[in-house]
């Protein structure tokens, strides 16, 4: 029972970290706030966001395999598959902003200027898509925890 509680805590901590850094990306990625320091900060924030997302996945998998309910219960439950699918979609959407932030940072370090307003808006839109999908995932977590689909 202690392992279950610790795994749940670590999973929740990873989720909250991921959400905080995704929110930070959304806040920083605005044309009116973007300057050289913000470009550097965006790249660092995105790195932490990616690490937190990997921690969410790792702790979630650990919960399914080491948790009290057991892997058979989790992996035959449709809400888990919806959660995982949404998580993968967020991961795929995040590729473009991650590559964009790195490109902006490289350009910044090579003496280039700030990115064009349209590019910042497009990138922010993708960050916001991620944020909105991430907000839906807990709905399926609640259904999963209550045994919907079993």
pLDDT score at 150: 64
pLDDT score at 114: 92
Helix axes 78-109, 36-66, angle to 10 degrees: 150
pTM, two decimals, is 0.93
Cα gap 9→42, rounded to integer Å? 27
Handedness of CA 109, 112, 117, 121 (dihedral sign): negative
The encoded tokens of residue 91 equal 């991961």
Give domain limits for the chain. Answer: 2-145
The encoded tokens of residue 140 equal 């399926």
Handedness of CA 136, 139, 140, 145 (dihedral sign): positive
Q: Mean pLDDT, 10 residues at a time, over the chain (150 residues)?
A: 92 97 97 93 98 97 91 92 97 98 95 92 98 97 85
H runs (alpha helix) in 29-77: 36-66, 71-75
């Amino acid at each position: 029972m202690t392992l279950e509680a610790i795994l749940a805590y670590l999973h929740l901590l990873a989720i909250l970290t991921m959400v905080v850094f995704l929110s930070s990306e959304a806040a920083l990625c605005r044309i009116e706030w973007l300057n050289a320091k913000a470009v550097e900060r965006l790249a660092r924030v995105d790195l932490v966001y990616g690490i937190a997302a990997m921690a969410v996945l790792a702790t979630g998998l650990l919960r399914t395999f080491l948790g009290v309910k057991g892997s058979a219960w989790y992996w035959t439950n449709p809400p888990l598959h919806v959660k995982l699918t949404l998580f993968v979609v967020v991961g795929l959407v995040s590729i473009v902003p991650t590559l964009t932030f790195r490109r902006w940072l490289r350009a910044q370090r090579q003496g280039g200027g700030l990115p064009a307003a349209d590019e910042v808006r497009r990138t922010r839109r993708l960050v916001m898509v991620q944020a909105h999908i991430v907000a839906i995932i807990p709905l399926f977590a609640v259904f999963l925890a209550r045994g919907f689909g079993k």
